[in-house]
Structure 1
């Protein structure tokens, strides 16, 4: 009889700089880049230069958005995101000064100093508006364009960025957690359950089905590859909605118990860093080592005051080597290419309208 091969796992807790807890993070501020007036002046000059050269937003490369002294600070922030804590913040961008096109040009230009944008949905959106357009949990769509609470998860890219334009009237708090710290805590508490998360966790693709693929897929929550831990946490509702496919694999009791413990630890005060977005904040998260969520929110009645975040998905050309299992979701995992994102035949676009639906 052929023996079933168990997935590779680390022999003990992984630790390292990415295995942070809340008490450790709040004692430091090297993950925050605060913009000064001179920094903003450099950004404005880069915008003017890109326009003078006739560049469309999508034509702007890193060198097309030159920043003098700010470049070194963004480099340090990028290093923190790529190989330090796994996340970083820019604070103090005066978003109220700019029209929509200028703001997107700035956001794109700053993002190019971190990585390469990839498409986020089947409509080819390179920048997505995270705003409540009326979608709800039962609509078989992503929940980001609703006011629903999101559980801890990771996006299909190396780095996800979120720029805050408006806060909600109430709620909408951002929460992040170290995937490595949660992994190590699970190993301490329930070493018998942790291996279940090294097996494929099956989930609904929610309508974004690449050519030749099934409408559902399986991917381990944790992988151990070339001496590094990688995390890919699913939105729990996508695991639960897998039940609508009668031929899809069913989750085992042991794996459900492991997921329950995983989400429970993510929400504990020691591990869950809660951050209230302020207008002008940009949050960068490396999805392989940091999971994110948000609380549900109550919005403003006025359209111009609605909670509004703008999202970039970025590929790191010098990012980590990824295990083959990622190809089931990412399709392309090749280092040095624009990898991840949502494959689509639709030409890439940047929608200016925040109420543009991701699903057409």
Structure 2
């Protein structure tokens, strides 16, 4: 049976193009001095109360004047545009532990953190730790290599910028809905192909009893709603190290080529001037993200460093069961998404990057 598909292009507010958001300062949520005072007061109170970062809930992090603006931001992320930015946090004046309290506390107003890897890390460090891009059992986020357009295994991914690189490392986002609609208009046969299963490499994140690869559609249509799951292109290519993984058909290869080409097309691709103190929130089901390769400043200058949270939205959209090939839970109202952690691990918040990446 052919997978379910919409009858035509989807349109709507999620189907934006890059030219609508060129003036970054006009649409990013800029924090004011009074917002920063509230944020610092809330973070200080959690520390004074002896709360471990993992224990901090939204109620523990009240922001009387800032909460309504965060609620509007959350609405844009989940129901209107699929992304939102907080800008201007003074990260340089906070130590590592306090930064995490701030980042965690603000983000609890957006969603609920879930683990990002089998070691149970609730905050990830996106930084080049020397991992080889050719190590097929490791993700490539902790290298300085290019990352093609992709999604993470959560409702909303958050990235806080602490330091930028000497060159490169530009962040980009794209509306998966706009790319889908363009494919449906121009090559409906290739669009349809992406509604079928695509083999993908788990890159070492293998659940108990599972294989090193899995299959999942890039486009999904469930409950009258679109859900995208874009893999890093390298993870589709490296899956063929497994002899039992199905080969890509010529049609599927052509469809993937067109998909990644359109994602990078300036009509759709929005380049973001990430700066220290920015938080990027992305609704993974409709917006895909990427970064260019980069070169760090020579020591002792800090390396490019982002901190990542994976967030579950209890009131998020209904999701297709096809995501269960990668997600532990997809049910709406549950803590969903994230990684299956090793049985001997607990959920942790590493203050600094760890080596190895897992």
Aligned counterparts, 1:197-346, within 5 A: 197-344=194-341, 345=343, 346=345
Kept in 2, the 8 Å contact 1:33–1:90? The answer is: yes
Structure 1 partner of 2:111: 115
Mapped to 2, the partners of 1:57 and 1:197 lie a distance apart of: 40
Mapped to 1, the partners of 2:322 and 2:243 lie a distance apart of: 23
Mapped to 1, the partners of 2:231 and 2:44 lie a distance apart of: 41
Structure 1 partner of 2:159: 162
Structure 2 partner of 1:173: 170
Mapped to 1, the partners of 2:25 and 2:332 lie a distance apart of: 30
Return the TM-score normalized by structure 1: 0.96
Tell me by how many angstroms 1:357 deviates. 3.3
Structure 1 partner of 2:191: 194
Bigger shift: 304-313 or 100-109?
304-313
Structure 1 partner of 2:357: 358
Structure 1 partner of 2:3: 7
1:10-68, Cα deviation, whole Å (9 max, x unpaired): 11100111000011223686742100000000001101211222111000000000101
Kept in 2, the 8 Å contact 1:165–1:280? The answer is: yes
Mapped to 1, the partners of 2:184 and 2:190 lie a distance apart of: 8
Mapped to 1, the partners of 2:27 and 2:210 lie a distance apart of: 39
Mapped to 2, the partners of 1:68 and 1:239 lie a distance apart of: 46
1:320-342, Cα deviation, whole Å (9 max, x unpaired): 11011011110211111111111
Mapped to 2, the partners of 1:298 and 1:190 lie a distance apart of: 37
Q: Does 1:63 align with 2:54?
A: no
| Structure 1: stretches of 5+ with no match in the other structure | none
Mapped to 2, the partners of 1:228 and 1:338 lie a distance apart of: 20
Structure 2 partner of 1:139: 135
Q: RMSD across aligned C-alpha pairs, in angstroms?
A: 1.2
Tell me by how many angstroms 1:189 deviates. 1.2
1:194-218, Cα deviation, whole Å (9 max, x unpaired): 1110001111101101123211000
Kept in 2, the 8 Å contact 1:131–1:146? The answer is: yes
Mapped to 1, the partners of 2:66 and 2:151 lie a distance apart of: 29
Mapped to 1, the partners of 2:352 and 2:300 lie a distance apart of: 12
Mapped to 2, the partners of 1:303 and 1:139 lie a distance apart of: 27
Kept in 2, the 8 Å contact 1:91–1:282? The answer is: yes
Kept in 2, the 8 Å contact 1:317–1:335? The answer is: yes
Mapped to 1, the partners of 2:347 and 2:24 lie a distance apart of: 39
Bigger shift: 172-181 or 341-350?
341-350
Mapped to 1, the partners of 2:250 and 2:58 lie a distance apart of: 48
| Structure 2: stretches of 5+ with no match in the other structure | none
Which of 66, 73, 77 matches 1:77? 73
Structure 2 partner of 1:86: 82
Kept in 1, the 8 Å contact 2:131–2:357? The answer is: no
Aligned-partner SS, 2:51: coil
